[in-house]
Amino acid sequence: MTTTTANMTENGAQLFARLEGRRSLKDVVPDIFSDGAGPVPGDVVEFHGPEGSGKTETLLHLVSHCILPADRGGQEVEVMFVDTDYHFDMLRLVTILEQRLGEDAIEEEGFAAASEEQVRACLARLYVVHCSTSVQLLLTLHHLENTFCSRPALCLLVLDSISAFYWLDRSGGGESVAKQEANLRKCSELLGRLLRDYRIVVFATAHAIMRNYRHSGRTPTDTTLTAPESSSTSSSWRQWSSTHASDFDKPYLSRAWQRLVTHRVLFSKGEVTRDKKQLFLAACTTTRTVGAKHSSFCVMEGGVRFL
């Protein structure tokens, strides 16, 4: 009897969370996604690229935009940041927030800097969790189910990175591919349930560790990407993405994870500009659009600036 009541209460809470609805993040980073192709509730965005290609800085840009108040141009939603690489830099995020709030203050009120209270209010919408193994990540995701259920304002889950334990799990799984991918497969299945039940958006980074060396002389900007006419479907898009490995590094994580991904953004380093700023490149494909959206950006003191 007690078990039945508990299940009914849990299901009722999940139903309330779904009916309450979560704010759409479709326009959260318009510079990366094509018009109308931004992530909607239930989508998964993978940032894929080598170390130092701007993935984490872009995530901080995304997080700052989400937790900024609406009257400052932000989304004013809550964010859960799961840090598996231990690269999350709170001081860097505070600097970005101060710059963003300070710029708005200069434009509107004539003040040079944002108040400490404004920054604290933004950070109150951010939750940071650290994981050092894939088992910890799996347990964390189990725990987050209750958090998403009770907090409809929590719209975004960030995983930096989903590939952090790839080599550890490979070495621990022996020669069995199923054992090597077991924890990531369980994480992916749980994420699928969170996406379905609570309609959140997931952003995750993945390190580029494999390339198709048959096309090693080509880069994402060498060709104009044109997907097949049927690329609006999930299966054909993934087949096209895998075939064009000269433009997009081949996915190497488990198929359970790959099935969740709706947007894939490939990051790479570009040239150094005349004023000695490093240029970064991003190319995005989705399951719902044809071709790729290309963008470029620099990392400034106040965060990412798209060109």
pLDDT single digits (tens) 104-136: 554 444 444 457 889 999 999 999 999 999 999
Kindly report which listed range (5-9, 50-54, 131-135, 224-228) carries the lowest average pLDDT score: 224-228
Phi, psi of 125 (to 5 degrees): -95, 5
Contact 250, 264 (CB under 8 A): no
- The position carrying tokens 């939750």 is 127
- Whether the predicted pLDDT of 61 surpasses 50: yes
Alpha-carbon span 176 to 187, nearest angstrom: 18
The pLDDT, as a whole number, for residue 42 is 93
**Which of 25-29, 179-183, 225-229 is most confident?**
179-183
Domains of the chain, first to last: 39-217+243-256 (3.40.50.300)
Contacts of 26 (CB under 8 A, 6+ apart): 36, 38, 39, 40
Q: What is the tens place of the pLDDT at every residue in 151-173?
A: 999 999 999 989 999 999 888 88
Question: CA nearest 115: which of 102, 124, 103?
Answer: 102
Count the residues in the chain: 307
**Predicted confidence band of residue 278 (pLDDT cuts 50, 70, 90):** very high
Contact 256, 182 (CB under 8 A): no
Phi, psi of 19 (to 5 degrees): -70, -35
- Whether the predicted pLDDT of 231 surpasses 70: no
Alpha-carbon span 28 to 44, nearest angstrom: 14
Quick one: what percent of the chain has pLDDT higher than 90?
A: 50
DSSP-assigned beta bridge partners for residue 78: 154
Contact 259, 241 (CB under 8 A): no
Contact 245, 212 (CB under 8 A): yes
Alpha helix locations (H) across the chain?
Answer: 2-20, 55-67, 90-108, 116-123, 134-150, 166-172, 177-180, 182-198, 234-243, 255-260
**Predicted confidence band of residue 2 (pLDDT cuts 50, 70, 90):** very low
pTM beyond 0.75, yes or no: yes
